[in-house]
C-alpha cells in the first residue's frame, strides 16, 4: 500500500511539474514599450523574438493550398552581399526600364500567393521590373510551427545580405519601390532604408514599423501603410507611435486603418477582409503609379 501511495504521489508531482512547465513556457506577445527598450534596439531582432511566440503564431492559421497557374515570371539567382547565392521570382519589363519593385513575402515564404501578387503588380504597373525576393533561400512553410522555425532560422544579417544583393542585381541606376505583408511589410520598410537614395516608394501591409528615429531620418521616399485596428502585431498603439515618429523626423507616411485583423489581405487567412483588401490594393497601386511618374 505504501509503495502504491508513493508511486501515486510521484506521478502527481511529475504531472504538476510538467503542467507548470507547459503553461510557463509559452512566451507572451511583446508589449509596445518593449519594442523600444528590449533586446538590442533593432526592430528586426525584436520581430524575430515576437515571431517565436505562440501568441504570434496563433494569429496565423495554415494557409489554404494554392498553385499559381501560368506564371509570368521566372526563378532567378543573384549574388548576395556575403558572396553566396540568393534567389527570387522575377518578371522583367518588356521594354528596358530602371524601375524595380521588390515584393517581399509573408512569414510563410515565397509561395505561389506572393508570386501571384507579383504577376498582378506586373500587369497593373507600367514599365517596371518585378522581383519577389526569396528571403528563406528556397524554403516555404505550410503551417504556423514550420513558419516559426523558418523565421528563427532567417538571421537578420542574412536577410540584409539578400536585400543588398537584390539591390545590386537591379543596378545602381535603378529606382526602387517595395511592397510586403507582415514579415514582408517590415522588410519592405527596411529594404527602403537599405536602398538609400535609390528608394522611390514604399508600401507596407501590417508590418512592424522602424522605431529608431535616426534610421527614419534617412528615408528617401514616401511610405504608405495599411493596418488593422484589431491587429496585435503591430497593435494600433504601435501604428500611432509610427505616425508620430514619422512626423517628428519630417517624413511622409500615409496610413490607412481598417476594422480588420492581422493578415486581412491574404485570401487564405480566415480573417481575410475582402472590402479592406480591395480598397488597400487600389490605394497601393495608385500610390505606386503616382511615384513612378
Q: What's residue 4's pLDDT? A: 46
pLDDT per residue as tens digits for the range 189-215: 999 999 999 999 999 999 999 999 999
Per-residue pLDDT of the chain (293 residues; tens, 9 = 90+): 444 444 444 444 344 433 433 333 444 555 555 544 544 589 999 998 898 888 999 888 888 888 999 999 999 999 999 999 999 999 999 999 999 999 999 999 999 999 999 999 999 998 999 999 999 999 999 999 999 999 999 999 999 999 999 999 999 999 999 999 999 999 999 999 999 999 999 999 999 999 999 999 999 999 999 999 999 999 999 999 999 999 999 999 999 999 999 999 998 888 899 999 999 999 999 999 999 99
Q: What's residue 40's pLDDT? A: 52
Q: What's residue 31's pLDDT? A: 55
Edge-first strand order for the sheet with 175-181 is: 74-79, 85-91, 129-133, 99-104, 175-181, 199-205, 223-228, 253-258
Q: Provide the sign of the torsion angle of the four alpha carbons 264, 268, 271, 275, taken in this order.
A: positive
CATH of domain 2-291: 3.40.50.1820
How far apart (Å, rounded) are the C-alpha atoms in residues 185 and 205? Answer: 5
Question: What contacts 200, CB < 8 A, 6 or more positions away?
Answer: 99, 175, 176, 177, 220, 221, 291, 292
Q: What's residue 16's pLDDT? A: 42
Instruction: Give the side-chain half-sphere CA count within 13 A for 95.
Output: 2
pTM of the prediction?
A: 0.87
Torsion of CA 258, 271, 120, 189, to 10 degrees: 60
Taking a C-beta distance cutoff of 8 angstroms, is the pair 109, 273 a contact?
no
How far apart (Å, rounded) are the C-alpha atoms in residues 218 and 232? Answer: 28
Q: What's residue 126's pLDDT? A: 87
How far apart (Å, rounded) are the C-alpha atoms in residues 188 and 209? Answer: 10
Q: Provide the sign of the torsion angle of the four alpha carbons 145, 229, 125, 81, taken in this order.
A: negative
Q: Provide the sign of the torsion angle of the four alpha carbons 34, 238, 270, 105, taken in this order.
A: negative
Q: What's residue 62's pLDDT? A: 86
Q: Which of 117, 106, 168 is nearest to 288 (CA)?
A: 117
Q: What's residue 41's pLDDT? A: 82
DSSP letters for 11-44: HHHHHHHHHHHHHHHSPPPPPHHHHHHSTTS-HH
Q: How far is CA 259 from CA 79, 158, 263, 281, in A?
A: 41, 35, 12, 16
Q: What's residue 33's pLDDT? A: 54
**Cβ-count burial 38-51 (b if 16+ within 10 Å, e if not):** eeeeebbebbbebb
How far apart (Å, rounded) are the C-alpha atoms in residues 44 and 184? Answer: 11
pLDDT per residue as tens digits for the range 130-176: 999 999 999 999 999 999 999 999 999 999 999 999 999 999 999 99
How far apart (Å, rounded) are the C-alpha atoms in residues 138 and 115? Answer: 13
- Beta carbons within 10 angstroms of residue 22's beta carbon: 9
Task: Kindly list the domain boundaries of the chain, sorted by start residue.
Answer: 2-291
Residue 108 carries which DSSP code?
Answer: T
Amino acid at each position: 500500500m505504501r509503495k502504491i501511495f508513493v508511486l501515486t504521489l510521484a506521478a502527481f508531482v511529475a504531472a504538476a511539474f510538467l503542467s507548470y512547465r507547459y503553461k510557463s513556457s509559452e512566451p507572451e506577445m511583446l508589449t509596445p514599450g518593449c519594442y523600444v527598450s528590449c533586446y538590442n534596439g533593432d526592430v528586426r531582432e525584436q520581430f524575430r523574438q515576437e515571431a517565436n511566440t505562440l501568441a504570434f503564431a496563433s494569429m496565423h492559421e495554415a494557409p489554404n493550398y494554392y498553385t499559381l497557374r501560368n506564371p509570368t515570371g521566372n526563378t532567378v539567382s543573384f549574388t548576395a552581399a556575403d558572396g553566396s547565392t540568393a534567389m527570387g521570382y522575377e518578371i522583367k519589363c518588356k521594354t528596358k526600364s530602371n524601375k524595380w519593385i521588390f515584393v517581399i513575402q509573408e512569414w510563410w515564404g515565397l509561395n505561389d500567393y506572393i508570386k501571384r501578387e507579383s504577376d498582378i503588380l506586373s500587369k497593373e504597373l507600367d514599365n517596371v521590373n518585378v522581383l519577389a525576393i526569396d528571403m528563406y533561400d528556397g524554403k516555404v512553410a505550410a503551417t504556423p510551427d514550420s513558419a516559426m522555425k523558418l523565421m528563427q532560422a532567417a538571421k537578420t544579417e542574412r536577410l540584409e545580405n539578400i536585400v543588398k544583393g537584390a539591390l545590386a542585381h537591379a543596378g545602381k541606376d535603378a529606382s526602387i519601390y517595395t511592397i510586403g505583408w507582415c514579415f514582408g511589410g517590415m522588410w519592405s520598410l527596411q529594404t527602403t532604408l537599405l536602398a538609400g537614395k535609390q528608394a522611390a516608394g514604399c508600401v507596407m501591409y501590417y508590418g512592424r514599423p522602424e522605431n529608431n528615429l535616426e534610421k527614419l531620418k534617412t528615408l528617401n521616399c514616401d511610405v504608405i501603410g495599411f493596418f488593422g485596428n484589431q491587429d496585435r502585431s503591430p497593435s494600433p498603439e504601435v501604428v500611432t507611435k509610427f505616425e508620430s515618429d514619422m512626423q517628428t523626423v519630417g517624413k511622409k507616411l500615409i496610413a490607412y486603418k481598417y476594422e480588420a485583423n492581422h493578415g486581412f489581405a491574404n485570401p487564405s487567412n480566415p480573417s481575410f477582409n475582402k472590402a479592406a483588401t480591395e480598397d488597400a490594393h487600389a490605394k497601393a497601386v495608385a500610390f505606386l503609379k503616382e511615384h513612378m511618374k
